[in-house]
Amino acid sequence: MSGLRVLYALALLVACWLPRAAGAEPSVLVLAALTVALVLEVALDACRRRGLRALGLLALWNALLVAAGGLALEQSGAEGGAFWAAVVAVWLGAWLLVSHVAELPRRPGLWGRLVALIAPIVFGLTVLWIWEVVVDALNVPRVILPAPSEIGARLSESTDTLWIDLVQTFGRGALAGFTIGCGAAVLFALVVDRYPFLRRGLLPVGNFLAALPIIGTAPIFVMWFGFDWPSKAAVVVAMVFFPMLVNTVQGLAATDAMQRDLMRTYSAGWWQTLMTLRLPAAMPFVFNGLKICATLALIGSIVAEFFGSPTYGMGFRISTEVGRLQLDMVWAEIAVAALLGSAFYGFWALLERRVTFWHPSQRSR
């Protein structure tokens, strides 16, 4: 960490010493904030009291925020060396902040989980800020890379279009395919499970098929089912069926002989054994499959739209707006897709925590 601090001090010195052109270079406010951040950081290292350290981290965060905000607002398009040195200093400062946060003792519970979120959030914000500043300072053409602020503006302006696309791609294509594909796979897995011969044959074939580029079936399904959402749902079904099948079959085999024998001594039938022992025991595997398929479903329905779609849908919008070089719209769609993807995944992860609370992997560490 001391190496980082030396680099930070060097960058700050360079930012102060380099000749400053009128108007364009880091203002006194920015340089002062950066100096305060350095002092705070050194003090943090010396301080041992926990409450003071938390306060110091907050102050360091604020000092860096002032410096970053000042730099972004002062940009005029004629940036020189001092400006870039200050940008590097802010980046190194964020790194120092994150490494201090990472040193905090890990505590269980909600508070600990919130503290663990600080570092990735700081990292994400730093990346966005550098993106913004670099695009502005270098005058990168908007048809190559729009700045995050423009993407955000586009995001809030075209909520209508984005919503229509989302409903078409996710609400119709991905969800329908996901439901049909996963449902069929679970039902089929129950059949497969009854016949060991079938299981020994289908598991290797299913594993093999799951590794293939099934996305390539998209043009075929578009021919069969037309441009609208049924063809997207069909692609998703083809993509999710085998991963789900393999996981469920493995899950149904997860009980050991002792447990099944116990059910037999209770004279439980196949159905009772399934409902009270084997399905609950299969749940960790089933949820693993559902989480994999949640990601695949969105990928499938977006890529299938590249092969033909009605005049709305996320994949359609991405491919046409790329053609029109409206990249801010493309990035807005990608941001929506990213949020949607992690939300859909997070939904299954949360449900998994509720359903398989008994499993070792879900116990709090």
Partner 1 sequence: MRRSLPVLTVVVVLIGLWYLLVIPMNAKWERDQAARAGTELGLGTLVVNTMGQDRPVLPAPHQVVVELWNSTVVEEFTGRRGIWRSGSLSNRSLVYHGLVTLGATMLGFVIGTGAGILLAIGIVYNKAMDASVMPWAIASQTIPIIALAPMIIVVLNSVGISGLIPKAIIAAYLSFFPVVVGMVKGLRAPDAMQLDLMKTWSASGGQVFRTLRLPSSMPYLFASLKVGVAAALVGTIVGELPVQQGGLGVRLLSGSYYGQTVQIWAALFAAAILAAGLVWIVALIEKRVLRRMGMAP
* Residues in touch with partner 1 (CB under 8 A): 95, 98-99, 101-103, 116-117, 119-120, 122-124, 143-145, 197-202, 204-205, 208, 211-213, 215-220, 222-224, 291, 294-295, 298-299, 302-303, 306-308, 314-315, 318-319, 322-323, 325, 327, 330-331, 333-334, 337-338, 341-342, 344-346
Least separation in angstroms between residue 299's CB and partner 1 is 5
Least separation in angstroms between residue 266's CB and partner 1 is 32
Q: In the chain, what is the straight-line distance between the N-terminal and C-terminal CA atoms, in Å?
A: 28
Tally helices (H) and strands (E) across the chain: 16, 0
Contacts within 8 Å (CB) and 24+ apart, 270-279: 274/190, 278/252, 279/252
Least separation in angstroms between residue 264's CB and partner 1 is 26
Q: Are 119 and 109 in contact (CB under 8 A)?
A: no
Nearer to partner 1, 111 or 197 (CB): 197
Contacts within 8 Å (CB) and 24+ apart, 311-319: 312/161, 312/164, 312/165, 312/168, 313/165, 313/168, 313/169, 313/173, 313/232, 314/165, 314/166, 314/168, 314/169, 314/170, 315/169, 316/165, 317/161, 317/165
Least separation in angstroms between residue 118's CB and partner 1 is 8
Least separation in angstroms between residue 306's CB and partner 1 is 5
Nearer to partner 1, 268 or 334 (CB): 334
Least separation in angstroms between residue 63's CB and partner 1 is 18
Nearer to partner 1, 47 or 306 (CB): 306
Q: Are 34 and 67 in contact (CB under 8 A)?
A: yes
Within 8 A by CB and 6+ apart from 266, the residues are: none
Least separation in angstroms between residue 331's CB and partner 1 is 8
Nearer to partner 1, 37 or 281 (CB): 37
DSSP string covering 106-132, please?
P--HHHHHHHHHHHHHHHHHHHHHHHH
Q: Are 172 and 229 in contact (CB under 8 A)?
A: yes
Nearer to partner 1, 116 or 277 (CB): 116
Nearer to partner 1, 278 or 291 (CB): 291
Least separation in angstroms between residue 20's CB and partner 1 is 31
User: Whole-angstrom Cα distance, residue 173 to residue 280?
Assistant: 30
Residue whose C-alpha is closest to residue 293's, from 251, 330, 252, 247: 247
Least separation in angstroms between residue 348's CB and partner 1 is 10
Nearer to partner 1, 82 or 235 (CB): 235
Nearer to partner 1, 268 or 312 (CB): 312
User: Whole-angstrom Cα distance, residue 337 to residue 314?
Assistant: 8
Q: Are 329 and 158 in contact (CB under 8 A)?
A: yes
Nearer to partner 1, 39 or 143 (CB): 143
Nearer to partner 1, 3 or 19 (CB): 3
Residue type for 292, please? Answer: I
User: Whole-angstrom Cα distance, residue 248 to residue 242?
Assistant: 10
Least separation in angstroms between residue 120's CB and partner 1 is 4
